[in-house]
Amino acid sequence: MSEVSSAISVNNLWQVFGPNPEKIVGSADASLPRAELREKTGNTAAVRDVSFDVAPGEVFVVMGLSGSGKSTLVRCLTRLIEPTSGSVVLNGEDIMKVSDARLRELRRTKFSMVFQNFGLLPHRKVIDNIAFALEVNGVSKEKRHARANEVIELVGLQGFAYAYPEQLSGGMQQRVGLARALAVNPDVMFLDEPFSALDPLIRRDMQTEVIRLHEELGKTMVFITHDLSEALKLGDRIAIMRDGAVVQMGTAEELIANPADAYVEDFTRDIPKSHVLTVRTIARPLADTETATGRTIPAETIIRDATAAVLDANGPVAVVANGNVIGYIKSRDILQVVGGGTEA
């Protein structure tokens, strides 16, 4: 599983709270539903048998409701919470096996984290908050302030370097959080519901900001959220968690087109399909009664974006992938998706 091609590779990760966590993993009890497991053994499985690979430069979103284990999962990846078993391989190094000293070194240089409640140090200026990881790593004041000023520029905090966190708005505080995570130039960034505590409008700004930063810097990100629209907006791939386990993993389109179970379907119900699905998913063979119009449309076009062209065509439009026609759609097909609207 852990080829060099992935930035981070998680294999069979378990996190069990309770009196005898080691005994649960691999036993018959492990497959019990969470409530039954607790009743029977007194243990709670917060993360159960989670495996995934994140490619370099990918934004991987973990999504789930509160209590689904997503926050525990992300803390296990950096060992803020010790997992019960499994491996997390970062650049070929299994961080479950490294010494405390090496773990600190990794935290100071290789990965960084952004928190829901910001976690800023109120007694330090913005610039010293941002430079904190460099400071604990023994970087000289001059160098770390120079670096901090770079990222201050990057996240748009110019003029606030010498302010204190309590003097900033929530959105600005989380910019400090982002800057702090970027300061060490990490290989992987973990973002634990970074925008959940913000107002909707500011949240949207910050999402755009993350997209921009990702485009500029190309950092690998593991992004935790409970908000599906945020997941769809940011994620290259999305893992949906429930009761500590991953129930489905894939691109936004895969999740919406083929929900693995009723739980995932329930999640995706409110998402307008036409905003996510491509025309590929509704392409079909030409019926006997139809004749092609001769117009074509690329298979990866989002349905919403194809609407005008298809309605305009007044007949079946060929869906083309790699130069081949993979099927046809016409206005009725589009209207079915759009008209089905938010419904199934």
Partner 1 sequence: MSVRTEPIIAITPKRISRRWILGGLLLSWIVLAQFLRGKATLELDNPDNSPFTTWAGEVADSIRDNRTDGAAFKFFFNPIREFIDGFVTLSRELIAIPSGSSSIPVLGWLGVISVIGFVVYAVSNIRMATAAVALTFACGALGLWTDSMDTLAMTFAAVILSLAIGIPVGIWAGLSDRVLKAVTPILDLAQILPTLVYLAPLALFFLIGPASATIATMVYSIPIAVRLTAFGIRGVPTSPVEASISMGTTKRQLLQKVQLPMSSRTIIMGVNQTVMAALSFVVIAALIGAPGLGKPVIDALIIRNVGEGFVAGIAVVLIAIMLDRSTSAAISSQDTFVPPSDADRKRRRIGLAIAGILAIVGIVLSRQLAWAAFFPKQIDISKQIASASDSSVKWVTENMEFLTAGLSKAVTVGVLNPLESVLANSPWYLTVVMITLMSLILGGIRSAIVSATLLGAIVATGLWYDTMITFTQTIVATLLTMVVGVIAGVWIGRNARAERALRPILDAGQTLPAFVYLIPMLGFFGPSRFTAIATGIVYSIPIVVKIVGQGIRDVPVNMIEAATSTGSTKWQLITKVQLPAAKKSLLLATNQGLIFVLAVVVIGGFVGAGGLGYLVLLGSSKPELQGKGLVAGFCILLLGVMIDRIAQYMVARNSAPKH
Residue numbers of the site for partner 1 (CB under 8 A)? 78, 80, 103-109, 112-113, 115-123, 132-133, 135-137, 164-167, 177, 180, 184
Nearer CB in complex with partner 1: 121/217 = 121
Residues 6+ apart with CB under 8 A from 327: 283, 284, 285, 286, 318, 319
DSSP assignment of 136-188 equals: HTT--HHHHHHHHHHHHHHTT-TT-TTS-GGGS-HHHHHHHHHHHHHHT--SE
Query: In the β-sheet with 59-63, what is the strand arrangement from edge to edge?
Result: 111-114, 188-192, 220-225, 59-63, 237-242, 245-250
Yes or no: say if 88 and 8 are a contact pair by the CB < 8 Å rule.
Answer: yes
**What region, left, alpha or beta, does residue 159 occupy, with left being phi > 0 and alpha being psi -120 to 50 degrees?**
left
Minimum Å gap between C-beta 224 and partner 1 is 14
In whole angstroms, the minimum distance from the beta carbon of 319 to partner 1 comes to: 46
Using DSSP, state whether 276 is helix, strand or coil.
coil
Pick between residue 113 and residue 310 the one whose CB is nearest to partner 1.
113
Provide, rounded to whole angstroms, the least separation between the CB of residue 287 and partner 1: 57
Q: Is 307 helix (H, G, I), strand (E, B) or coil?
A: helix
Q: How many angstroms separate the Cα of 206 from the Cα of each of 40, 155, 193, 203?
A: 44, 10, 12, 5
> Which of 130/303 has CB closer to partner 1?
130
User: Which two structure tokens, joined as six digits, stand for 63?
Assistant: 């999504």
Residue among 25 and 62 whose Cβ is closer to partner 1: 62
SS3 193: coil
Residue number with CB closer to partner 1 (107 or 242): 107
* Residue in this structure with the two tokens 């119009």, named with its chain if needed: 293
What is the smallest separation between the CB atom of 114 and partner 1, expressed in angstroms?
A: 9
97 vs 104, which CB is nearer to partner 1?
A: 104
Q: How far is the CB of 144 from partner 1 (least distance, A)?
A: 12
Distance in Å, CB of 239 to partner 1, minimum: 21
Radius of gyration of the chain (CA): 23
Q: CB of 83: closest distance to partner 1 in angstroms?
A: 15
In terms of CB distance, is 164 or 263 closer to partner 1? 164
